[in-house]
Structure 1
């Protein structure tokens, strides 16, 4: 769970520091103090804590808007989590498989794309244009930087990307995407395996991620195993009288 906490707060800190704090048996992830502007929604992350305890802590300590991320380990029944939060007035927004790769055996799939780590300003600018995002900061272009970005290229076109964020002693896999016209060609798997090789070379002991249910199959085919499921709940707003 610490890898998720560290990786998630790292990526949300690009625009304003987003911090993790342990509050009893749960973590709260939220903005550092702001001098102006609204606070973003908080995430209260719980593993092996009862819905009643998490609800009590979150309602008492929140600054305003928040969601609860309750993790159910693989092999355990999720009924207590589902029913417990529902009884407390929460709405289940979605579930996401929580997965890990031990980096011991990394596949070497064939792909029509070449896989590259983004290590130059030129490639970072091309990625920004392709993805519609801000260019990668110069500090993240170096080998060993806490964020490593990878791209898939076909005929000089960037057709996919993924990044790994150094979190604790592992990598947090994030922002995996392949353009629709290039899917089902093994490009996503090749991207992942390139990233995993980079993680292992950098000394990571594992790669951890949250997947969509449709994307989970891709990760399984790349060697990831399911650790559990994250349940994302939000409090139901009271209806106006």
Structure 2
């Protein structure tokens, strides 16, 4: 099976029907800008000039395209088969609470499984303890395979550089998900995580870190899976 496959015509119709029926969450980004937001498809709009996918209008999109006459949108999502799908569209039309985007010429299916990233609730933290060093990472997004966040607290005096290094192994990392009206506080233990990427925000003098979860016991994986499902459900309730 090839690693990449292009779906066209009837296969796109069937895929988008599943996208709508299952309320699958989509990541939509405005190419050439920093705008990216989660959304979902709400239907298909047919006109004499072609079919359009109806996208739930994401927050801030009007402002992001206010001064643009032409723009390209990039979409990606995990399908019902848990594989990653990608497609681009040129332009779009705002119609009430929907964004109508033309059907793409093709949708690319990547024949490898990928863990879809979700933004967790505010104050979701990853806790690190390395001997006498303690640190708190405020999470920006999380998946079954890893997490990304910004270092907000540590106990190292006069730290001038990155607290962590690429490929550093971190044992017994804790993730704390705060309680809300839909669930109680959750504590998830990752047996071993590894630092995969470091970003230095020089303007704000902060470091952001990407972690890969290397070892996690089945019970903790179930808790993490349930949390991510709850994040998705909460997102859909708010839209």
Query: TM-score under structure 2 normalisation?
Result: 0.26
Structure number with the higher helix fraction is 1
Q: Which has the larger radius of gyration?
A: 2
Query: TM-score under structure 1 normalisation?
Result: 0.26
Whose RCO is larger (CA < 8 A, sep 6+)?
1
Structure number with the higher strand fraction is 2
